[in-house]
Amino acid sequence: MEGLSPLVWSVVRAHRLSDADAHEVYQTAWFRFAQHLGRIREPGKAGAWLASTARHECLKVIRSSQRLTLTDDPQLLDRVSEDGTPEQSLLDSEEAAAQSERVRRLWQEFEELGERCRQLLRVLMATPPPSYQDVSAALGIAVGSIGPLRQRCLRRLRARLEARGAM
Amino acid sequence: MNDDVFDEDGWDDEEFDAGLLEEELRQAAAVLDPVPAELQQLAVDAYALHDLDARVAELTFDSLVDALPVRGAGDVPRMLTFRAGEMTVDVEVTGHGLMGQVLPPQPARIEVLWGPRPGSSLTADDLGRFTADAPPPGPFALRLRTGGDVVVTEWMRA
């Protein structure tokens, strides 16, 4: 079940909570999951259960405080070039440096997408890829609309990358 | 920022490998925004919280969701109500601590849990009232023993 960690984290990140709030929501979702284990009879539904719980807690945080802090893009991007981080090993060869630059640009363009696309893609990029049921639970959108939205958001992202000459 | 994804954006419907781009995003997320290691571990440790002996008291009222905000009121206490069968637990959380009452009124031994570690202990008096001097530092649950009954409130982020 801990294989669902990236899904829960993605849901929290999709809602742009501060680090402290993100950690607490993540914890709350897992603690409650453990508490209700006996009642979640179909293992296939665990992802949707966790995603939905995380989403509701995210909405409560947003409602309670308005201290919705935007994740700082430069801060995230800095991590690529920070010394001593695991990512540093990416820079160890020129080829890796080019790859790292591509990842950085991709992330930057992703962060600058409209809020709806950014949210959807942040959840879709969890590892392993979440089912549409999980995505629906994570974002409160109909399963049937996810496919077309996904296609459109990814196309939009590609267009941004092309405009920047990054593809 | 244009947020209307339903808008026609002038792109023809030329197919491209959306799956490939999504996979690149997945790899980027794994590098730039991975699950923090301590949270990864927490998902494993959380299993210790699965409590076969206890009944879960579900959240039935949360002032954050079910009450209208008071205009201009700054530090409004969070009011929570949990219910398991006949038993109700009202909890008020402020910056100073917890206050609550078990209903129907009865004495109880209460443990304040804040994760898969032993929590701090409280006692509810004959009227079921209890207080804690410190607010929970993060997500919390109350484990109540009354007579032969054990009840745990749903985990909440205060």
pLDDT of residue A91: 53
Give me the mean pLDDT over the A121-147 stretch. 96
Check whether residue A18 and residue A49 sit in a common domain. Answer: yes
Domains of chain B: 18-47 (no CATH), 52-153 (2.60.40)
Judging contacts by C-beta atoms under 8 Å, the chain B residues touching residue A155 are: 9, 11, 16, 18
Nearest residue in chain A measured CA to CA from B157: A28
Residue A25 lies in a domain: yes
Q: Which tokens go with A151?
A: 């296609």
- Range of the structural domain that residue A41 is part of: 1-70+113-162
Query: Which residues in chain A touch residue B64, judged by CB atoms under 8 angstroms apart?
Result: 60, 63-64
Q: What's the whole-number mean pLDDT along residues A135-149?
A: 96
Nearest CA of chain B to the CA of A29: how many Å? 8
Distance in Å, alpha carbon of B79 to nearest chain A alpha carbon: 13
- Domain presence at residue A28: yes
- Residue A79 scores a pLDDT above 90: no
Q: How many CA atoms lie within 13 A of B57 on its CB side?
A: 25
Q: Do A125 and B31 touch (CB under 8 A)?
A: no
- A56 and A2: one domain? yes
Provide ipTM, 2 decimals: 0.84
Q: What pLDDT was estimated at residue B73?
A: 57
- A55-64, A88-97, B115-124, range with greatest mean pLDDT: A55-64
User: Residues 6 or more apart from A60 whose CB is under 8 A from it?
Assistant: B62, B64, B65, B157
Contact A148, A35 (CB under 8 A): no
Contacts of B52 in chain A (CB under 8 A): 38
Please indicate, yes or no, if residue A167 is contained in any of the structural domains.
no
- pLDDT of res. A71: 44
Band (A94; pLDDT cuts 50, 70, 90): confident
For residues B121 and B132, give the distance between their C-alpha atoms in angstroms, rounded to a whole number. 9
Are A61 and A117 part of one and the same domain?
yes
**pLDDT digit string (tens) for chain B, length 158 residues:** 444 444 444 444 445 789 999 999 999 999 999 999 999 999 988 988 888 889 999 999 999 888 766 665 566 789 999 999 999 999 999 889 999 999 999 999 999 998 877 788 999 999 999 999 988 889 999 999 998 899 999 999 98
Shared domain check, A31 and A17: yes
Phi, psi of A137 (to 5 degrees): -65, -35
pLDDT at res. A33: 94
Mean pLDDT computed over A19-47: 91
Q: Does pLDDT of A28 surpass 60? A: yes
CB A56 within 8 A of CB A29: no
Q: Same domain, yes or no, for A53 and A106?
A: no
* Rounded Cα gap, residues B63 and B79, in angstroms: 5
pLDDT at residue A90 in the model? 55
pLDDT the model gives residue B132: 93
Specify the pLDDT at position B11.
44
Domain count along chain A: 2
Task: Note the pLDDT of residue A166.
Answer: 62
Please tell me the distance from the alpha carbon of residue B110 to that of residue B129, in angstroms, as a whole number: 11
The beta-carbon neighbor of B46 closest among A30, A107, A158 is A30
Over the stretch A106-124, which tens digit does the pLDDT of each residue have? Answer: 999 999 999 999 999 999 9
